Amino acid sequence: MCLAIPGKIMEIQEGAPFDRKGKVSFGGTIREVHLGYVQDAKIGDYVNVHAGFAIAIINEKEAAATLALWNEAAEKEELRRKS
């Protein structure tokens, strides 16, 4: 229930701010998503979607930083395993 899934914005239908909707791709499956709460979202952005509403734009920089940390951790683990 409180799960939000990340998807990529493919299309936006502009309108009044709270009428903003779009088509979002979840790994290939396209669904209509309400974009009223992510006014700054653009085509190509990834958003976290819950109950048909985008609740946040995924912060690419933060995601990249987290992944870099974990990739480093993963490499350490592989080295340890091989030694």
Partner 1 sequence: MKYLDEFRNPHAAKELLQSIKNEVRHHWQIMEICGGQTHAIMKYGIQDLLPKDIHLLHGPGCPVCVTPLSKIENALDLAARKNIIFCSFGDMLRVPGRDNDLLKVKAKGGDIRIVYSPMDALTIAKDNPENEVVFFAIGFETTAPATAMVAYQAKKENINNFSMLVSHVLVPPAIQAILSSPDCQIQGFLAPGHVCTVMGYQEYEPLAKEFKVPIVITGFEPVDLLQGLLTCITMMEEKDFSVNNQYGRSVQREGNVKAIELMQTVFKSSDREWRGIGSIPKSGFDLQDAYKKFDAELKFGLAQTKNREDSRCIAGEVLMGSRKPTDCTAFGNSCTPESPLGAPMVSAEGACSAYFRYRE
Q: Which is nearer to partner 1, 14 or 70 (CB)?
A: 70
Q: Which of 9, 24, 41, 46 binds partner 1 (CB under 8 A)?
A: 46
19-35 CB burial, b ≥16 within 10 A, e <16 = ebbbbbeeeeeeeebbb
* DSSP 8-state class, residue 59: -
Residues in the chain, overall count: 83
11 part of the interface to partner 1, by CB under 8 A = no
Residue 43 interacts with partner 1 (CB under 8 A): yes or no:
no
Q: For residue 55, state whether it binds partner 1 (rule: CB under 8 A).
A: yes
Does 13 contact partner 1 by CB under 8 A? no
